[in-house]
Amino acid sequence: MKDVALKAGVSIRTVSRVVNNLGEISEETRQHVQHVIDEIKYRPNHLARGLISGRTLSVGIIVPQISDPFFPEFIQGAEARGQEAGYSVLLCNTNEDPARELSHIETLQSKQVDGIILCGTRLSTPQLSALAEHQKMVMVTGQTPDYAAAVRIPGEEGISKVVHYLMDLGHTRIGHIGFTKQVTGERLEGYFAALEERGLPGNPSRTVITDQVSIENGKAAALKLLDQAPDTTAITCYNDMLAIGAIQACEERGLRVPGDISVTGFDDIPLASLIRPRLTTIRVDRFAAGNRAMDLLLNFITTGSPPVKRTTLDFSLVPRESTGSPAE
């Protein structure tokens, strides 16, 4: 900026006026300065700008696993919305490790991000509520935290809906493959709640919990479930990846899907409609979710008021080929 000022024969302040379109300047000097700017290709330094303005136009997004099919589209949605407002995205991967998550948060704060979108956190509630006091953030979770803004994934409602759908088809012996890392039950609770609404008993041996979301784990969990409760006629799963594994397990056991047993997922990842049988699942719009999260955060940032708002995403049941009426 000094160089521009020198070369244009004006003060630094005047250059600043041109760069920031501050008016209060004659059209003549304006054009002259702009000419010099283009000539020496001056680009404003966001660091210096952020240092004094207290805003960096950057936000952090922390996700457990970028390679989880849920997140690429989510991130794309968030980035797109952020870009409209001139914001950049700092992406952080935690690999489900709380320590790494914490260290990422510290780094982001050191980098003076204006806000953080925290997806599928593994931190404890006290940690989070303490954090939320000093850090503008939006959580993406199945929970309904009261200390921070959040975009809720309707896990409980979704699984509940799918269980009702299966019961409508005539199933009564319905199982569930859950995921430990959901901080509390959510989807698992939706499963039990739906059964209870119809007066069906929740049989613990029809429930298997796995600690990692992968096709392999889904397969292993389903095999275990089929051992524990061989008369199961339908398996609901925490998400699509586990469901795909569950289908493989059923086929390995000689069970036909959906002839002998029905399987359902959650998320509607691209894979879900490409495998055979096509997977019945719950769809949530991941791009829209990212949009919403960024929206909430930007509002928070610009208004400054902590909007302890929670917005629950829409979802819909997508019936496909992996479900049918039970055999008998």
The site for DNA (CB under 7 A) is made up of: 1-2, 9-14, 16-17, 19-20, 23-26, 28-30, 42-45, 48-49, 51-53
The nearer residue to a second copy, 94 or 236, going by C-beta atoms, is 94
* Closest approach of DNA to the CB of residue 134, in Å: 14
* Closest approach of a second copy to the CB of residue 246, in Å: 13
Q: Can you tell me which of 18, 71, 119, 206 binds a second copy, judged by CB under 8 A?
A: 71
User: What angle in degrees, to the nearest 10, is found between the helix axes of 12-19 and 27-39?
Assistant: 90
Sequence-separated (6 or more) residues with CB below 8 Å from residue 210: 177, 178, 179, 180, 217, 218, 220, 221, 238, 242
Q: Six-digit token pair at 282? A: 């719950």
Sequence-separated (6 or more) residues with CB below 8 Å from residue 269: 69, 70, 240, 241
Binding flag, residue 276, a second copy (CB under 8 A): yes
Q: Can you tell me which of 1, 91, 169, 200 binds a second copy, judged by CB under 8 A?
A: 91
Binding flag, residue 72, a second copy (CB under 8 A): yes
Binding flag, residue 88, a second copy (CB under 8 A): yes
Place of tokens 């952080």: 92
The nearer residue to a second copy, 116 or 194, going by C-beta atoms, is 116
Report the alpha-carbon distance of residue 267 to residue 264 in Å, rounded: 10
Peptide bond just before 270 cis, omega within 30 deg: no
Name residues contacting a second copy, limited to 109-148 (CB under 8 A).
109-112
Q: Tell me how crowded residue 301 is: count the other CB atoms within 10 A of its CB.
A: 17
**Partner whose footprint covers residue 13, from DNA, a second copy, none (CB < 5 to 8 Å by kind):** DNA
* Closest approach of a second copy to the CB of residue 93, in Å: 5
Report the alpha-carbon distance of residue 233 to residue 132 in Å, rounded: 44
* Closest approach of DNA to the CB of residue 17, in Å: 7
The nearer residue to a second copy, 25 or 275, going by C-beta atoms, is 275
